């Protein structure tokens, strides 16, 4: 059996929080908390802002970490996500996702799943690299629309999870990574619930999976 890191699919290295980044210590704290809560089996605590830490700083480093998690999961496991196998970016037959970024794709555009996800990952990487949105210098402040940008990032990253669960779960099971996927997704869900980042309606493609982790109640 293949393990998660035995796969040969290539994927672009993503964001690193370097020691020169003013939020590096926040990042180290987030990693420390995550390691402790994983050991205790309580991921929900890992996403909560520790006492004395700035909420926006905490959200910033967690967005980077969660982005890197899903990027690694998809890049290392979903070898069968090709133009031929996945000509549409969807989460089952009822949910199809169109891409729009007001740059290259100014109107909602149908893309294959691999093209959509590649475009999405590049777009998120651009947001995380934008000093005006995710500043790295001491004393820098996030923009007034920071929360809305984070909401958009997380809503779009959820679509990758939705596609993986609907289309590539057999691949993940074959490389003995189902438990790893579940842990990453649970971490993701606790984070978006803690800061109310994704509307309930967006969870519909994975409602059964999501409701085993967090209570949704009526969609809206």
Contacts of 17 (CB under 8 A, 6+ apart): 23, 24, 27, 61, 64
CA dihedral 196, 148, 122, 164 (to 10 degrees): 30
Q: Is residue 216 part of a domain?
A: no
pLDDT for 45: 84
Q: Is residue 67 part of a domain?
A: yes
Q: Is residue 217 part of a domain?
A: no
Dihedrals phi, psi of 90, to nearest 5 degrees: -145, 175
Q: Is residue 170 part of a domain?
A: yes
Residue numbers of the domain that contains 194: 4-211
Q: Is residue 219 part of a domain?
A: no
CATH number at residue 164: 1.20.140.30
pLDDT for 1: 31
Q: Is residue 218 part of a domain?
A: no
Q: Residue 124 has which token pair?
A: 């998120």
- Which residues are bridge partners to 99 per DSSP? 109
Q: Is residue 163 part of a domain?
A: yes
How do the pLDDT tens digits run along the chain, 220 residues long?
333 333 344 445 455 555 555 444 554 555 554 555 544 457 788 889 988 888 998 899 899 989 988 998 898 878 899 999 999 999 999 999 999 998 899 999 999 999 999 999 999 999 999 999 998 877 788 999 999 999 999 999 999 999 999 999 998 888 888 888 988 899 999 999 999 999 999 999 999 999 988 876 554 3
Domain count, the chain: 1
The secondary structure of 11-79 as a DSSP string is: --------TTSTTHHHHHHHHHHHHHHHHHT-GGGGGSPPTTS-HHHHHHHHHHHHHHHHHHHHHHH-T
pLDDT for 156: 97
CA-based torsion, 203, 208, 214, 216: positive or negative: positive
């Amino acid at each position: 059996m293949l393990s998660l890191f035995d796969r040969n699919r290539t994927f672009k290295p993503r964001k690193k929080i370097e020691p020169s980044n003013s939020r590096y210590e926040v990042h180290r704290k987030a990693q420390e908390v995550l390691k402790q809560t994983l050991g205790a089996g309580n991921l929900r605590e890992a996403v909560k802002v520790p006492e004395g830490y700035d909420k926006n700083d905490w959200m910033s480093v967690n967005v980077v970490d969660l982005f890197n998690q899903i990027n690694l999961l998809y890049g290392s496991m979903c070898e069968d996500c090709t133009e031929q196998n996945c000509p549409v970016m969807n989460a089952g037959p009822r949910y199809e996702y169109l891409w729009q970024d007001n740059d290259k794709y100014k109107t909602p555009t149908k893309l294959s799943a691999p093209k959509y996800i590649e475009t999405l990952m590049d777009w998120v990487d651009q947001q995380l690299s934008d000093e005006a949105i995710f500043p790295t210098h001491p004393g820098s402040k996030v923009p007034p629309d920071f929360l809305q940008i984070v909401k958009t990032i997380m809503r779009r990253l959820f679509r990758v999870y939705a596609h993986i669960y609907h289309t590539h779960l057999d691949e993940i099971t074959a490389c003995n990574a189902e438990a790893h996927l579940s842990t990453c997704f649970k971490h993701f869900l606790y984070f978006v619930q803690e800061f109310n980042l994704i509307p309930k309606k967006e969870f519909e493609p994975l409602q059964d999976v999501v409701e085993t982790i967090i209570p949704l109640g009526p969609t809206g």
